[in-house]
């Protein structure tokens, strides 16, 4: 679909510098721009590309002033926040390409299931007993929705997602391909002979509104009660969230984060990739945990943490200076010991 600079400026409430009739029909990174493409510039590191880009339109911050001549074919649209506005356009584009309402065949829908208005249900989907799916939901092919699961309105579930029985998904959620929600928590108790006996996991998972879950992430059902992913949480691909965990509102975690059972993660926490968080501990609101960190004890006050086990980021940076010097320090210690031994032997 084609848009003019004038139409885009009206959507974004931006100022046009150049040709208001310039047309675009695709999106492109500024360094890969070509005629008919729309790009954006928000990071000063990429400014050099705006002077050579082939894009027809570029969204820039209102503070941007070119230091060189811009391409004659380039039209600028100045906005308060170029990155946020480009994200807004991407959302408009995604909504335009949303699946049309309808139920494809073949699939299985239990007679007791309740399907809302204007939903899309892809082929080979399974909808179990007493399932409730809200209006405007998009369910892609090969999705399994277990008995008594609830999916609220405007949620999108991509292919090969598995929702175990009684899972609850809120409004406006996005669940990417391969996600498993509600699988059994890792609950086993050894008997007197050291043989592990399975502890039944009879709880569920509750995902609140506006949550996005990346591909192949797993979220385990509670032993009893619920595992909670609160409103606005963003989870990257390949994360593992164990039973009875609670992730607070608007927390974000990068790929390969692992959270052990019954941990309580506060609001607006940021967790870097490959970080691990131990079970039965709490993380204070607005804490920042660097990638590959290991959290083995409760964090009571908001701070930036790094290391395994984690320590305050400022302490880690100072310690790292010492770590790098250890080989030379060891060499000096050995030399000193050798000299000391020689002095002692002369006495």
Q: Which residues are designated catalytic?
A: 243
How far is 35 from 294, CA to CA, in rounded Å?
A: 48
- Rounded to the nearest 10 degrees, the angle between the axes of helix 5-12 and helix 82-96 is 110
Tell me 185's DSSP state. Answer: P
Question: Kind and range of the H or E element at 180?
Answer: strand 180-183
Distance CA 105, CA 260 (A): 40
Buried/exposed 212-240: b ≥16 CB within 10 Å, e otherwise: bbbbbbbbbbbbeebbbbbbbbbbbbbbb
- For the residues of 139-169, what is the DSSP string, one character each? E-TT-EE-TT-EE-TT-EE-TT-EE-TT-EE
DSSP H stretches of helix in the chain: 5-12, 47-50, 82-96, 313-346
Other CB atoms within 10 Å distance of the CB of residue 189: 9
223 contacts 186 by C-beta, under 8 angstroms: no
Residue partners of 20: CB distance under 8 A and separation at least 6:
4, 5, 6, 9, 75
DSSP string, 64-93: ---SSPPPTT-EEEEES-HHHHHHHHHHHH
Query: Burial of 201 by CB count in 10 Å (0-12 exposed, 13-18 middle, 19+ buried)?
Result: buried
């Amino acid at each position: 679909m084609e848009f003019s600079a004038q139409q885009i400026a009206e959507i974004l409430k931006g100022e046009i510098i150049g040709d208001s009739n310039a047309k675009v029909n695709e999106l492109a990174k500024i360094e890969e721009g070509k005629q008919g493409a729309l790009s954006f510039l928000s990071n000063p590191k990429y400014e050099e590309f705006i002077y050579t880009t082939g894009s027809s339109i570029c969204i820039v911050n209102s503070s941007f002033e070119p230091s060189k001549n811009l391409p004659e074919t380039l039209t600028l649209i100045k906005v308060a926040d170029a990155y946020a506005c480009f994200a807004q356009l991407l959302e408009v584009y995604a909504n335009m390409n949303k699946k049309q309402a309808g139920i494809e065949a073949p699939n299985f829908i239990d007679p007791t299931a309740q399907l809302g208005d204007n939903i899309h249900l892809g082929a080979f989907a399974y909808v179990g007993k007493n399932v409730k799916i809200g209006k405007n939901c998009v369910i892609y092919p090969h999705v399994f929705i277990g008995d008594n699961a609830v999916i609220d309105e405007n949620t999108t579930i991509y292919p090969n997602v598995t929702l175990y029985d009684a899972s609850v998904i809120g409004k406006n959620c996005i669940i990417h391909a391969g996600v498993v929600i509600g699988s059994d928590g890792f609950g086993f108790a050894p008997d007197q002979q050291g043989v592990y006996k399975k502890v039944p996991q009879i709880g569920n998972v509750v995902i609140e509104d506006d949550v996005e879950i990346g591909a192949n992430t797993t979220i385990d059902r509670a032993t009893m009660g619920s595992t909670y992913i609160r409103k606005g949480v963003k989870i990257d691909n390949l994360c593992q969230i164990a039973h009875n965990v609670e992730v607070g509102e608007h927390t974000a975690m990068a790929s390969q984060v692992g959270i052990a059972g019954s941990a309580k993660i506060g609001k607006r926490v940021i967790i870097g990739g490959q970080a691990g968080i131990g079970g039965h501990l709490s993380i204070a609101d607005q804490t920042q945990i660097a990638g590959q960190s290991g959290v083995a004890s409760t964090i009571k006050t908001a701070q930036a943490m790094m290391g395994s086990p984690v320590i305050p980021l400022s302490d880690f940076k100072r310690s790292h200076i010492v770590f790098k010097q250890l080989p030379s320090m060891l060499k000096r210690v050995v030399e000193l010991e050798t000299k000391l031994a020689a002095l002692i032997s002369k006495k």
